[in-house]
A = this chain, B = another copy of it.
């Protein structure tokens, strides 16, 4: 009997040193809202999305004089001088088609940077769940689901999405670690109404105060896109199969 492929879930970027990322395809998960917005933007024809950690880094792209769209938010407001914030509603075809977007995202960028050594780094969200999982199955590789979390802390929404992937990939072909089992069990509890389940998260109140409840609902839609963003150098582009 050959060794089974592995599905592992890294619950926060702080635990990444425990995994052998070079043997896996890594899926970056930052449901509210970075990886949801990235999936939507790439679906809508953005040429590339460049994730950066700091607003200053983002602003520096303006100096390069090229036709970048710059996305940065602080406390739910678009930063003055930037083109838009992190809401997925900003990533429509009208706005992003053919453009390169520089996106400020702390947790997602952190997870991406730490995952560079992987066989491939792709972006997951509920929006592209089935397309992503079908592609993952076709690859026949070990899979590491990396939850971006919140400042290195565990969060429920990223874990639920990891569970959704484990659920789709469940078969005798893969062996799962305990965190993948837990994520899948939590997803089973939540899947019939993700939004209600997530009301009990620690930052549900914080998100409400930011006035981004519509964004949250948007990010919890399942299978409304099929593009799979993949990391190429510093840029996320559409995976061409």
Contacts and interface: CB of A to CB of B under 8 A. Distances in A.
A210 interface: no
Contacts of A214: none
Contacts of A159: 178, 182
A18 interface: yes
A18 B181 contact: no
A178 to B, nearest CB: 5
Nearest to A152: B18
Contact of A152 (B15, B176, B200, B202): B15
A12 interface: yes
Contacts of A15: 12, 14-15, 152-154
A23 interface: no
B155 A178 contact: yes
Interface string A152-168: 11111001000000000
Contacts of A14: 14-15, 18
Interface string A2-14: 0000000001101
B18 A153 contact: yes
A189 interface: yes
A200 B176 CA distance: 9
Contacts of A185: 186, 189
A153 B177 contact: yes
Interface string A140-160: 000000000001111110010
A201 interface: yes
Given A15-B15, A154-B11, A182 B182 contact: yes
26 contacts: A11-B154, A12-B15, A14-B14, A14-B15, A14-B18, A15-B15, A18-B151, A18-B153, A153-B178, A153-B179, A154-B177, A154-B182, A156-B182, A159-B178, A159-B182, A176-B202, A177-B202, A178-B202, A181-B200, A181-B201, A181-B202, A182-B186, A185-B186, A185-B189, A186-B186, A189-B189
Interface of A: 11-12, 14-15, 18, 151-156, 159, 175-179, 181-182, 185-186, 189, 200-202
